[in-house]
Amino acid sequence: MTIVKDVEVRGTQHCETTTLGVLLRHEGLDLSEPMLFGLGSGLSFVYWDGKGMAFPFLGGRVRPFELTRNLTARLGLTLLVKETTSPRKAWENVVAPIDAGRPVGLQLDCYHLEYFRSKVHFGGHVVAMYGYDEHDVHLVDTEQQGGAVRAGRAGLAMARAERGPMTARNRSFTITLPEHPPRWQDQIIPAIRDCADAFLSAPIANLGHRGIGKAAERVPGWLLRAGDPRRDLPQAAVLMEEAGTGGALFRALYRDFLGECARLIDDSGLRTGHRLYAEAATLWTDVAGLITKAGESGDAGHLERAGVILRDLSRIESDAMQVLRRL
């Protein structure tokens, strides 16, 4: 058995920030989960109802692995990414750094991980691997999935090799701090500005604050859109609140990031952004609750009320991001 020493497991909510926390703490950089999310400009929004989809998707963050690339570039860290179609090479790419005493990040499809509680395909899941033996691997996942967990090597290989939406070809990565890393505190404002600019300048109407406006138009018709409303609507609400989002479709994480920043930097714009995202987080949880009630009762009135709140959310988040873009 090979185990990397001094890997610290914490109760965290989102898979990519969980993995980043493990890798960076091992390098000596200890940041909170909201700070990792915010420095990676992780907040976004997408309303997606593509051809062949069983039900629309509401997303609250940037694409898988974009957060990691944003964060490491912003902090001047060395991100070494390896991908391959060879199962043998894929295994070599992870055991080499582990044998050298360094944990590794993996992007994979969680469907094939035995410990995963919900058997759905999601190719953008990220975990940290810190050990292995002849049969199993030692991983760090979110608190919801058990934190420090074990998985069979065969299942891991299948998860890493899966093809489909948001998957990567056996992607593994390590992060190294430079000898004299820049102060992460100096990157707070640039990270907030970049996130706000991307949110307000999204190229298509499905994204950013316009995407929330589109959701306001479409959600009231979800009872007719769903194949099985009693299943599909509550499941959509669960994804918003519990599927690694930290609650409120990632708005709670961004609220806490802005709150932490406001304690470090005395700026009225930061305080305004924090106040508005605290309001937004509460309202997103209200929307999820109304979607659940609509699915359980079949009453479209709940979805109409959700649509009204979503219109308010489009305005609130637009106002917040306009303030934050001017920091």
| Tens of each residue's pLDDT in the chain, 327 residues | 999 999 999 999 999 999 999 999 999 999 999 999 999 999 999 999 988 888 999 999 999 999 999 999 999 999 999 999 999 999 999 999 999 999 999 999 999 999 987 788 899 999 999 999 999 999 999 999 999 999 999 999 999 999 988 999 999 999 999 988 889 999 999 999 999 999 999 999 999 999 999 999 999 999 999 999 999 999 999 999 999 999 999 999 999 999 999 999 999 999 999 999 999 999 999 999 999 999 999 999 999 999 999 999 999 999 999 999 999
Q: Are residues 6 and 133 in the same domain?
A: yes
Distance CA 68, CA 70 (A): 5
Which residues are registered as beta bridge partners of 126?
A: 107
Q: Are residues 286 and 156 in the same domain?
A: no
Q: Are residues 195 and 239 in the same domain?
A: yes
- CA separation, residue 54 to residues 49, 221, 241 (Å): 9, 15, 20
Q: Which of 145, 176, 207 represents a domain boundary (last residue)?
A: 176
Q: Are residues 155 and 172 in the same domain?
A: yes
| pTM score | 0.96
Q: Are residues 168 and 202 in the same domain?
A: no
Contact predicate 261/188, CB 8 Å = yes
Contact predicate 107/124, CB 8 Å = yes
Per-position b or e across 64-78, b if 16+ CB within 10 A of its CB: bbbbbebbbebbebe
Distance CA 93, CA 108 (A): 14
Q: Are residues 321 and 188 in the same domain?
A: yes
What is the per-residue pLDDT for 165?
A: 87
Q: Which of 105, 99, 110 lies closest to 133 in space, CA to CA?
A: 99
Q: Which of 176, 192, 208 represents a domain boundary (last residue)?
A: 176
Q: Which of 165, 2, 31 lies closest to 94 in space, CA to CA?
A: 2
Q: Which domain holds residue 84?
A: 2-30+78-176
Q: Are residues 110 and 243 in the same domain?
A: no
110: number of Cβ within 10 Å: 24
Contact predicate 211/56, CB 8 Å = no
Domain-embedded: residue 22: yes
What is the per-residue pLDDT for 214?
A: 97
Per-residue DSSP letters for 68-129? HHHHHHHTT-EEEEE--S-HHHHHHHHHHHHHTT--EEEEE-GGG-TT-SS----TTEEEEE
DSSP code for 195: H
Q: Which of 131, 151, 176 represents a domain boundary (last residue)?
A: 176
Q: Which of 229, 243, 248 lies closest to 295 in space, CA to CA?
A: 229
CATH number, residue 148: 3.90.70
Q: Into how many domains does the chain fold?
A: 2
Domain-embedded: residue 191: yes
Q: Are residues 144 and 7 in the same domain?
A: yes
Q: Are residues 248 and 308 in the same domain?
A: yes
Domain-embedded: residue 207: yes
Q: Are residues 169 and 195 in the same domain?
A: no
Distance CA 73, CA 80 (A): 12
